Every structure is written in C-alpha cells, then in structure tokens.
Structure 1
C-alpha cells in the first residue's frame, strides 16, 4: 500500500511560529491535495515536554542554533518549540487531517531530541511507526513536511534503512537551510529515494 507520511506540519514551524521554516505554510495546500489519493496517511508531531534539554533556554550562556554535546550526542540548541499541549505543537489550522489514520509523537524524552519519525536521536526509543506500517501493509512511503533537511531527511533515511521504497515530494517540503537541504536531497537520492513533484505523484496513485 502506498503510504503518505506528513512530518511535523505544526504551527511552530510556520511563519510566525517559534521555529519558523521559511514559506513552510506553502506546503499545506499541496499536502491537502495529495491525501485523498493514498490508501494510508499518517502524521507525526514534535511533542516536547516543557524545559526539553534541546532548548537553548535550558543552557545558560548559550544561544539558539549553537551546537553542544548532550548526553554524548551532538545537539543543535533550538528555540522552545512544539511544547506539549501548546498552540505551537498543534497542526497548522488549514491542514486537512480527515484522511490521517494515526498520529505519532516524537521528542517526548526530556533529555533526547528526535528528528526521525521512527526513533529518537539516541535510537533508544521507538515511536511505534515502523510496527504500525508493517501491520498496515505499507509497501512504499511518500514523505512531505517540515523541515526538509532535518526531520523529513532523518525520517526518510531511516525508512530507506528499513528497506522501503521511498519518495520525497519536493513541493511538499520546505527547508530551514537551503544549502543543507541540497546536500540532504543529494544524499537521499544517492541512497535510492526518488524525488518527485506532487503532480507526478498523482500519476502513480492510487496503487
């Protein structure tokens, strides 16, 4: 079954949010248009407890976007964002979630960040998404969401490691950093992911 994965399409990653992805809101219409064609659609949410260790506010003397080591892992310090239950953690109000059959939350461990929608960055905690996809009979995964070179990239890379054929929907993602996105996109393509636009995806679904 062809499956659409909506990664972190949340208020804090939109213009006006705490960690805005430039033009992040422009993907919402694309994502809404894609959903009806898929047999399965799932969504993920960044879902941080207050005072998460990845927040710059928890590191006196440090600023957002600086790099530190956190429990042995490299960590970019972020503005406080996607805090559980707050406005910023909610999906964008224009995102149509009627076709979304399950939501998987990540970043819930207060000491470990989570970019991939499958695991935390230490790979100690699974979100449960991998098992869910197996149970549902997913055969090919199509990714959209925010930010392209971070959570979408790491999610897609893990999906490739699981052996799934994967598609990056290029007009269904936006990056924080365009140069980093170019490198991430090239890496994914080299690893076997297909890069497609939404109009071309429509030619393949349903399937």
Structure 2
C-alpha cells in the first residue's frame, strides 16, 4: 500500500508534522475547542485531504459560517464527500455501545478511501463525551486510544482527540494522556511526557486483567 507520510500543517500551529500524528487536546473552554477544530479542519481541506469530524458540540451552521470566511463552501465540500461532520454518539456509540474494533476499522477505511479518491491525506478530529462512562464497552476507551497509535503507523490518518477537562475527572485525564504521544499546550504541539508506547501499555493492561 502507498503510504506517503509527507510533512503537513495542522493549521493551529506553525509546526509541521508527518501525516498520522496522534494528538490529544485537553480543553477547558469552548473557544479553545473551536479554535483547534476549525483551524485543523480548514487546513486539511486546503491541503487537499479527506476530512471528517466527530463532535458532540459542533453544528453544520457554525462550521459552514467559519468555512465561508475562508472562502470554502461547506455544502460543496460535503457534497463532494471530502468533508463530513457527525455527532459523537452517531459514530462512537453505534447500536448504543462502544466497539473499539469497529472504530479502528472505520479509521482504516477512511484512510483507504482517501487513497482511492487521490486525496493528499486524511485527517480526523474526534471529540469524546463523558457519556462513554455509561455506554456498554466504554471501559475500553483507553485500549482504543492506544490501538489508534498502532493503527496510524500503517494507516496515517492525522488525528486530534478532544477531551473537555470540565467533564472528565483528573484521574481520567491522566489516563487519557498515557495513550496519546502528543498533546496541545497553549496552541503548540509537544511530545507528551506521560505517553506509554502502545505495545507496553496494552501488555500492562492484559497482565492487569
């Protein structure tokens, strides 16, 4: 399979990264959430990438308004199937449960679809909701995030995962950081000192259970 890990812009920072980077944003305001989301998605479109967003809070109206300011038609991008927006629950909680294997397959399919369309890459922004604590399979969230890091080595979807620090407790936030190699700090992307390589993390979890 062709696997072109070219350096790309993320939109919200002057830094460039190889495609397939797995980034965590812990935000505490709607402004922080939207700033990253909008810049990340718009830059993907400008780069010629396939772009999708799973968001609990974003709407087609707000995204359309922002894209219009950048000279991009939301409806045209949507109808051309190069941009899609879904509610978090419609993607992560199909049939009322969380299935990491199905989510990983979805990411792989999204990347392969971008190749078939001759797009220059693929990027996903996924916003998690605290509802996952009450969803069957929700206890596998950290397993899923760790396996995403493994998947992206072969299928380099550029990925930002958003978590609201006001809705997740401190212990959960620390666990989330363990499964993301990069994090956003004051608008910059930094290597996450809390990150545990997926092979090690998943082995630890298997031994624990």
State if a TM-score over 0.5 links the two structures. Answer: no
Q: Which has the higher helix share?
A: 2
TM-score by length of 2: 0.41
> TM-score if structure 1 supplies the norm length?
0.41
Higher RCO (CA < 8 A, seq sep 6+): 2
